[in-house]
Amino acid sequence: MTNDNLQEHLNNGLYGTPQLHPDEQRKYLGTFRERVSLAITFKEFSNNQNACLTAIKQEISSNTEEKLSIKINGQLSSDIIDKIIQISKENNTKFEYLADTSFSHDDDANAIVICSSKSAL
Summarize pLDDT for 45-74 with one digit per residue, the tens. 999 999 999 999 999 988 766 788 999 998
Alpha-carbon distance of 52 to 60, in angstroms, equals 12
Whole-prediction pTM: 0.78
What is the average pLDDT score of the chain? 85
Chain centre distance of CA 59 = 15
Q: What is the pLDDT of residues 66-103, one digit of tens each?
A: 788 999 998 898 999 999 999 999 988 999 998 877 77
User: What is the model's pLDDT at position 1?
Assistant: 60
Domains, the chain? 30-116 (3.30.1330.30)
C-alpha gyration radius of the chain: 17
